[in-house]
Amino acid sequence: MLFPLYWMLNASLLPSTDLVKSSPTWIPLHGTLQGYRRALSSQGSHLLVSLGVSAGTVVLVLLIAVPAAYGLAQLRAPGGRLLTFAFLIAQMIPGVVMANSFYTAASKLHLLDSPLALILADSTLCVPFAVLVLQAAMRGVPAELSEAAVLDGASRLRTLLSVILPVSRNAVVTASLFSFLFAWADFLFAVTLTTRDDRAPVTVGIYRFIGAHLSDWNSVMATGIIASLPAAVLLVVAQRYVAAGVTSGAVKD
């Protein structure tokens, strides 16, 4: 299961001449960081675009999902079941259908190549997931807690921010991490909504890079390793959130 990942790491360290030899080099004894240097110089700007888009997506998703989850779980907003159902169904619309519509909409609004268009499009991958995760967590918060806050004269917004959010911190972290990852890994929206190379996120950067440098596996793999860093960091630093995220009916398409 993990061999392809090792093989990518291995290739990212080997000089290109070793990569096309008839027998494979199993361990990068004579490793080089050449690939990483080239990866950073050619993909650096794409990585920055991805970073900005992913961070922006997290902010947007939380802005929509946190109040919605609070309204659904604690305030029992009318029509709540219908909204939850809508989010469940929304996850099943094929991405290529969304991409088709987003492209025409972005083109009309002159938003092609804009990071904003990508943030908006990527958020559609994360909002349903975030609402479901946050809602499940907030339902577990005892009603007495928020009632006490209301009695103390706090508004509902204040209650959400200073009582509910701190106790459902884990769910907020899970939702944020996964939103970041979904946006970071998105390829479909990235490839359809960016036409200019210099505005492309790293997934499209790699894709075009393979097309142009098919034999330069060393720097292609180095780019791959760098682009996987968020996932790797996440797995090491936030392991329990990852497990929680996957089991709460996580989506990936």
For residue 162, the minimal CB distance to another protein (Å) is 16
Output the smallest distance, CB 99 to another protein, in A. 7
**Residue 169 Cβ, how far from another protein at the closest point, in Å?**
19
Beta carbon nearer to another protein, 41 or 100: 100
- Phi, psi (degrees; rounded to nearest 5) at 117: -60, -40
- The residue among 29 and 97 lying less far from another protein, judged by its C-beta, is 97
Nearest distance from residue 75's CB to another protein, in Å? 4
Burial of 75 (C-beta count, 10 Å sphere; 0-12/13-18/19+): middle
How is residue 118 written in tokens? Answer: 């990508």
Residue with smaller CB distance to another protein, 41 or 239: 239
Choice between 36 and 184, CB closer to another protein: 184
> 28 near 211, Cβ under 8 Å?
no
Cα gap 199→84, rounded to integer Å:
35
> Are 43 and 199 within 8 A, CB to CB?
no
- 215 three-state secondary structure: coil
Tokens 């209650």 label which residue? Answer: 159
Contact call for residues 12 and 221 (beta carbons, < 8 A):
yes
Is 20 or 212 the residue whose CB approaches another protein more closely?
20
Q: How far apart are CA 27 and CA 16, in angstroms?
A: 14
- Compute the least distance from the CB of residue 153 to another protein, in Å: 13
